Structure 1
């Protein structure tokens, strides 16, 4: 996956020459103070089976996580952890290939927590990722499912539509602290902040829906069930203004 930071941000100012910045050496020291980029999302997906069957599948993530996370590079660590290499991102002449290590905690009362940990045996890469996601499962009547359930079963020639399905809901938050080379800080801070926040949001919007679909597909094909339609999965960004009002 290749992504680029937008380099045509309207708030960029004329006194900063990006071409001159990009000509500078990238080996100069990193600034001591990192810049924090943040984003937060909520979402859900529907699984056309009972909660126990879905829970058994989620609990056995060693069987499906690496496969469903592709094309991201994944490496299992321990019983419940993974190192993910997300892709290469950059602009202003500065590129990084973000990596993070995450742990999927065993479920507690139907709630699954996933959080970042330091990457084992890895030197400091110039950034730190603080990631946390919480996922819960609950059964709902199939009549409350998103449109398309009955059509999906008929298409697969399965007349028996389940009375209940399972809804998997989650929220996730990311805080990425990046130490940039000094020449990046010649840009206005507002440009750096807005560009980084927007890029982080774009990364989540690209990765999360793809992972969600692959998990749905993997589970339903394994259970010989029709794969849910697109409107059975959803992702929404949580605006900072709504968080401030809630606080």
Structure 2
């Protein structure tokens, strides 16, 4: 007998970059560059405006999953960039991801608010039925939250380091 779990996690934060809005907006308009850089060390495959990546493996109670996700970047205006998941045919799980970068210019700096909403519905193998459902739910939720937090920290840190390392005046 197969059981499914729906798990969700939200991570958010903000960083301040000492720059003007146009250079940072120009950087974010080039997702073919910052998506692969940002998600390092994860491998990213770009195709037709979609970025496919293998997320880190996570699991609990002897069950592990390494989900894949496809993302599309949407620039709503020079101050708001969204990431949305694109459905992939994967047996055993479905990933839903929505994220954003909101840029708020201030004196000689830009405050960047970021948010990542990760959801996954997983079909569990029958052997997990021997555990109480609250135990399975709590263990799986902790694993998803840890994975999402790690990916977010890496993504934001990598993007900030890469942007700061760019020569002045380059987009």
**TM-score with structure 1 setting the length:** 0.64
The residue aligned with 2:47 is 77
Tell me which residue corresponds to 1:146: none
Aligned partner of 1:45 among 12, 15, 22: 15
Identify the residue that residue 27 of structure 2 maps to in structure 1. 57
1:220 matched to 2:164? The reply is yes
In 2, Cα distance between the equivalents of 1:211 and 1:131?
14
Look up the match of 1:134: 100
SS of structure 2 residue aligned to 1:64 = helix
Tell me how far 1:172 sits from its aligned partner.
2.1
* Aligned-residue offset at 1:212: 1.2
Structure 1 residues 25-73: Cα deviation after superposition (integer angstroms, max 9, x where no partner): xxxxx61x52111111221122211011100000112123212311112
In structure 2, stretches of 5+ residues that fail to align are none
Structure 1 runs not aligned, ≥5 long: 1-29, 142-163, 226-247
Q: TM-score, normalised by structure 2?
A: 0.90
Pick aligned residue for 2:113 from 169, 172, 186: 169
Alpha carbons 1:74, 1:85 under 8 Å: kept: yes
**Separation of aligned partners in 2, 1:112 and 1:61:** 10
Quote the offset at 1:224 in angstroms.
4.8
- Aligned partners of 1:64, 1:51: CA distance in 2, in Å? 17
Please give the secondary structure, in 2, of the residue aligned with 1:194: helix
4+ residue stretches of structure 1 with deviation over 6 A?
none
**Segment drifting more, 207-216 vs 84-93:** 84-93
How far did residue 91 of structure 1 move?
3.3
Deviation of the 1:109 alpha carbon? 5.5
Give, in whole Å, the separation in 1 of the partners of 2:103 and 2:151.
Answer: 21
Asked if the contact 1:103/1:117 (under 8 Å) is kept, the reply is yes
SS in 1 for 2:127: helix
In 2, Cα distance between the equivalents of 1:172 and 1:96? 20
Corresponding residue pairs, total: 169
2:153 is aligned with 1:209: yes
1:196 aligns with 2:166: no
Separation in 2, partners of 1:90, 1:116: 21
Residue 215 of structure 1 and its aligned partner are, at CA, apart by: 0.7
CA RMSD after TM alignment: 1.8
- After TM superposition, give the deviation of residue 75 of structure 1 in Å: 0.8
